[in-house]
A = this chain, B = another copy of it.
């Protein structure tokens, strides 16, 4: 668990990245940026910063920020009720993002992983997105992504987001961030 101070610092950093991408947030949106540490308390390696613009029972749109080298860990969006699972398009707005999906593994992937977590990343077909590039993921497709050396700002256009339905490869992950009351260890 990260603590409140780390959470707020990450929110402020996210606002800076949004500004670099020319993206204007309202004060309310800036205050409500979601910082996901996936319950691992190593935010600068594995984490994601999120602004949800809209999430109805039909459509969702978000802005994602990845700090330099920050990883959104491998997961998929399974079918829920009678729906085929979340379909999502990632569009890079600023920086660079390394996206990995099932398929022929890249012989020299651009991403680097923390050694103790290598086993929790299983798909290695690489798609590198620069500003203006985008990729649409079909429902229930395993994927993960990492911010490039300068980080990244990525728009996500999708069907309804149901974070609690996501299935992560790493069994240690908890999608919903809980804050520690006491200072957390350095990450």
Binding site for B on A (CB under 8 A): 21-26, 29, 53-54, 56, 58-61, 87, 89, 91, 93-94, 131-134, 136, 155, 157-159
Instruction: Tell me if B157 and A157 are in contact (CB < 8 A).
Output: yes
Q: CB distance B136 to A56 under 8 Å? A: yes
Instruction: Pick from A29, A89, A94 the residue with the most CB of B within 10 Å.
Output: A89
Query: How many of these chains are in the complex?
Result: 2
Which 5 residue pairs are nearest across A and B when measured between Cβ atoms? A22-B22, A61-B157, A24-B131, A24-B132, A26-B132
Closest to A157 in B: B61
Q: State whether B58 touches A61 (Cβ < 8 A).
A: no
Bound Cα distance from A133 to B29, whole angstroms: 10
> Which residues of the partner chain B approach A155 to less than 8 Å between Cβ atoms?
61
What 17 new A-B contacts, CB under 8 Å, besides A22-B94, A58-B159, A59-B158?
A21-B22, A22-B22, A23-B93, A25-B132, A53-B89, A53-B134, A53-B157, A54-B89, A54-B134, A58-B87, A59-B87, A60-B157, A61-B61, A61-B91, A61-B155, A61-B157, A157-B157
